[in-house]
Amino acid sequence: MKRNAMTLLEVIFSLALMGMTVAMISEMARTSFHNARMAKDIVQAELLAESILAKIRLGIIDLEPAFDVPVGSAYTNQADMVLDTHARSQGNTSIVLWHYSVEITNVSDHYFDGLLDDYLVEVAVTVRQNEEDHRRGVACRLVRWIAIEPEIDEEEY
């Protein structure tokens, strides 16, 4: 005798298999969205650090150590912009999403045995997300060597 229909066991097995497949696909999608947001924040931190280093090299930001300086409203998404707009309407100046720190080290002492007479410094800029905003905890640290113009005493000439 030939059967034309599936048994209840086959239907239950196929539904379970389909459920596991959907669960795996949804977990992969969730992970990929999380990784995409993390990558976006990392790139934004790198761009902010590069921007701060460029401002230091151009003299817009003074070449001096700094700690936990707010970068300003660097929006990571539309929701942050709406939140910031709401905060401004309530009297808050801005929601700070990023902070930066600047460390300055004399390179000539460490690498050239003092031969350069303090004309070269290592500038390390660290950009990180606000401590209150623990969404992903992204930070970026960039280091550049910057040549300093020697100060010339006019009395010597």
Rounded to an integer, what distance in angstroms lies between the CA atom of residue 143 and that of residue 99?
A: 16
- For the chain, which ranges sit under pLDDT 70? 1-2, 72-96, 108-118, 131-136, 150-157
Has residue 156 been placed in a domain?
no
Contact present, 139 and 156 (Cβ < 8 Å): no
> What is the reported pLDDT for 76?
46
Report the 10 Å Cβ neighbour count for 8. Answer: 8
Would you say residue 37 lies in a domain? Answer: yes
- pTM to 2 decimal places: 0.66
User: What pLDDT does 135 receive?
Assistant: 61
Number of domains in the chain: 1
Are 95 and 77 in contact by the 8 Å Cβ rule? The answer is: no
CA–CA gap between residue 58 and residue 30 (Å, rounded): 42
Question: Is 134 within a domain?
Answer: yes
Residue 1, domain member (yes or no): no
Determine which helix (DSSP H) or strand (DSSP E) holds 73, and give its type and residue range.
none
Pairing of strands 120-129, 139-147: antiparallel
Supply the pLDDT for residue 4. Answer: 73
**Domain that residue 81 falls in:** 9-150
Reading across the β-sheet that carries 120-129, which strands appear in turn? 66-72, 98-106, 120-129, 139-147
Task: Convert the pLDDT of each residue in 67-89 to its tens digit.
Answer: 988 886 444 445 555 545 555 55
What would the DSSP string read from start to end of 11-27? Answer: HHHHHHHHHHHHHHHHH
CB-CB neighbours of 94 under 10 Å: 11
Instruction: Please tell me the predicted confidence (pLDDT) of residue 71.
Output: 85
